[in-house]
Amino acid sequence: MVKLADQVVALRGKVFELVNGDSAITFPNERFGPERFREIYSHPAARGRSEGAGLSDLFWYWLSPGPEVHQEHLEDGPRYDDVARATLRILSGPSDRLADMATRATAAVLDGFGGGLVRLRDLMMPVWAEYCYELVFQESCPREARDLIVGHANDVVTALKCTGLRHMGRRNRLTRYLAQRLGDVPHELPASLSPREQVHYLQGTFFNTAVVQLSEGMAHVLLALAQHPEVQERASEGDDRYLSHVLDETMRLYPLFGIAHRITKGEITLDEDTTLPAGSVLCFSYPAYHATGYEDPERFDPDRWEALSAKDAHHIPFGIAANRPCPAWRLAPLAMRASLKEVLRRFTLDSTVEHTRSLPSRGPCLLVPHGESVSPTRMRAIRTFLRVRDRWEEVWRSFVQLGLGTWMVLDARHRRLAGRYFAESPERTSSCPLPNSLPPSSSR
């Protein structure tokens, strides 16, 4: 059953490759192994993000609306610098305040949840919707905004994982809300963007990427704890140092980026026989890199970080400092630690589902409030139910992913969002005169 699911996933990869038409080279590989990984990833010519690759049409499709102003997909230039500075401003603040906000957002959501079977990503999304709203607006999140943010972020990540199609109507509802509220944002927003672009920037970076990444990261760490009771018990003591090890080990084994890609802007000479031409698509595989240089790399072992330094190990959960790293590399771990403490203060977790990096199951898990007990017979029944349902879901989901993935690849290719955008104006990387109208309520 699981083998069949794997085959369907491999077939999906082939369809993507075929339709996008890019010839990509993945690192580390047999010739250029982990010892060359950071150097190649950091190469100054390896910084292109969108222009010149068929793959970009698909990413832009998934990240709509406003993929052209999403920081991840902007090419280097003054506009990128302006946007990157704004992101850092919004993410800045004293650690205590940022952690306290995460505790409050987690408590607010968990106050309405008495325990039971959940999908961890779904449980966490409203938490990070509230959190990111407060980062941006510096006030607590109204319920209406929380629902709109969750609706949007969930739609993006569901489409990205090919477990559902994209629904522009859901996304555009948040765009309209943010457009009405733009004047209430107390931060200095990127001046090189029009008001409509500023709305898309906030929507893409904070109400999609930030919410999705934090929710997925938390789903992974909570599921890892649910499957390693002895680690869960130690983590429940709330020691920051140990929690950091737990997070590092979770992000080592289940990095949120499977592959980060770059489009080369100039030639890169790798050795006397190999020069990559400009326009090559380079794929940097996080799981492959994270699996090298460790003893028993498949084992989930937070204690390994007692003797290792994240800086020196093959460990890049937030990317590479020299080449557009994650701007939340400081905020994310401290916010996640605070949220984790709040969850563990209230619940014991248990789960028997398969823990994979892309986690399309959204992490089914049982949360039992402290002070309540589940009889051994009932616990055995729940664990069996979770395992059996998970295996069945995996089979039908892999067919759904193949079908929907193929449909979206073709639709994205037909729309050619990135291709058209760059074809319209060669100066697009530094200035972008888009019309200032808001999107219609539904474009599909």
The 3 state secondary structure assigned to 151-185 is: HHHHHHHHHHCCCCCCCHHHHHHHHHHHHHHHHHC
416 vs 424: CA distance, rounded Å: 12
187 vs 179: CA distance, rounded Å: 15
Shortest separation between residue 388's beta carbon and ligand HEM, angstroms: 31
Q: Which residues contribute to the site for ligand HEM (CB under 6 A)?
A: 71-72, 84, 87, 91, 205-206, 209-210, 213-214, 217, 251, 256-257, 260, 317-319, 324-328, 332
Q: Which is nearer to ligand HEM, 66 or 217 (CB)?
A: 217
288 vs 255: CA distance, rounded Å: 10
Contact at 8 Å (CB) between 153 and 164? Answer: no
257 vs 169: CA distance, rounded Å: 27
210 vs 218: CA distance, rounded Å: 12
Q: Which is nearer to ligand HEM, 178 or 251 (CB)?
A: 251
Shortest separation between residue 350's beta carbon and ligand HEM, angstroms: 23
| Of 223, 221, 270, nearest in space to 248 by CA | 221
Shortest separation between residue 366's beta carbon and ligand HEM, angstroms: 24
Q: Which is nearer to ligand HEM, 335 or 412 (CB)?
A: 335
Shortest separation between residue 324's beta carbon and ligand HEM, angstroms: 3
| Of 263, 199, 344, nearest in space to 57 by CA | 263
Q: Which is nearer to ligand HEM, 201 or 294 (CB)?
A: 201
Contact at 8 Å (CB) between 91 and 213? Answer: no
Sheet (strand 116-119) strand order: 116-119, 364-369, 347-350
255 vs 290: CA distance, rounded Å: 8
Q: Which is nearer to ligand HEM, 84 or 402 (CB)?
A: 84
Q: Which is nearer to ligand HEM, 69 or 256 (CB)?
A: 256
Q: Which is nearer to ligand HEM, 326 or 408 (CB)?
A: 326
433 vs 425: CA distance, rounded Å: 10
